[in-house]
Structure 1
Amino acid sequence: MDGLPGEKVGEPSGEPILPISHTDSARMDTEKRIRELGLELPSPPKPVGAYLPARQTGNLLFLSGTTCYADGKPMRTGRVGAELSLEEGYAAARQTALNLISVLKAALGDLDRVARIVKLNGYVNSAPGFDRQPEVINGASELLEQVFGERGRHARTSIGVSDLPGHIPVEIELLVQVMPEPSGRDVPGPAAGAEVLEKIGELGLVPVIEIEHAEHAVPLGEALLAAGLPCAEITFRTDAAEEAIRRLSASLPQLLVGAGTILTLDQARRAVAAGARFVVSPGLNLDLIDWCLQEQFPVIPGVATPTEVGLAVSRGLSIVKFFPAEALGGIKMLKALAAPFKGVRFVPTGGITAANLADYLKTPAVYACGGSWIAPPALISAGAFEEIARLTREALQIVHTCRPERGAR
Structure 2
Amino acid sequence: MALLCAAVVLLAAGFGFGYPELALLGASAAVAVGCALGYAAGRPRLAVTRVAEPDRVARGEPATMTLTVRNAGRLRRAGLVAEDRCGRQPVAVPLLRLRPGHDTTVSYPVPTHRRGVVPVGPLRVTGRDVLGLVRFSRRHGPATDVWVHPRVHPLSAVPAGVARSLDGRIDRVPHGSITFDSLREYVVGDELRRVHWRTSARVGELMVREHVDTSLPTIVVLLDNRAAAHPVVDGLADTFESACEAAASVVAAATRENLAVSLLLVVPDDGRGSYLDRLTEAGLRQGGRSGTGNRSDDDPLRTATDRLRQQRLGDTLVFLTGPGGRADLGRLGALRGAYPSVVVAVFGPAAQPPAAGHPEPAGPAGPGGRPTGGGPGGTAGVVLIDAADGPRFAAAWNGVDRW
Same fold (TM over 0.5): no
Between Structure 1 and Structure 2, whose CA radius of gyration is higher?
2
TM-score, length-normalised on structure 1? Answer: 0.30
Larger RCO: Structure 1 or Structure 2 (Cα < 8 Å, ≥ 6 residues apart)?
A: 1
TM-score, length-normalised on structure 2? Answer: 0.30
Larger strand proportion, structure 1 or 2?
2
Larger helix proportion, structure 1 or 2?
1
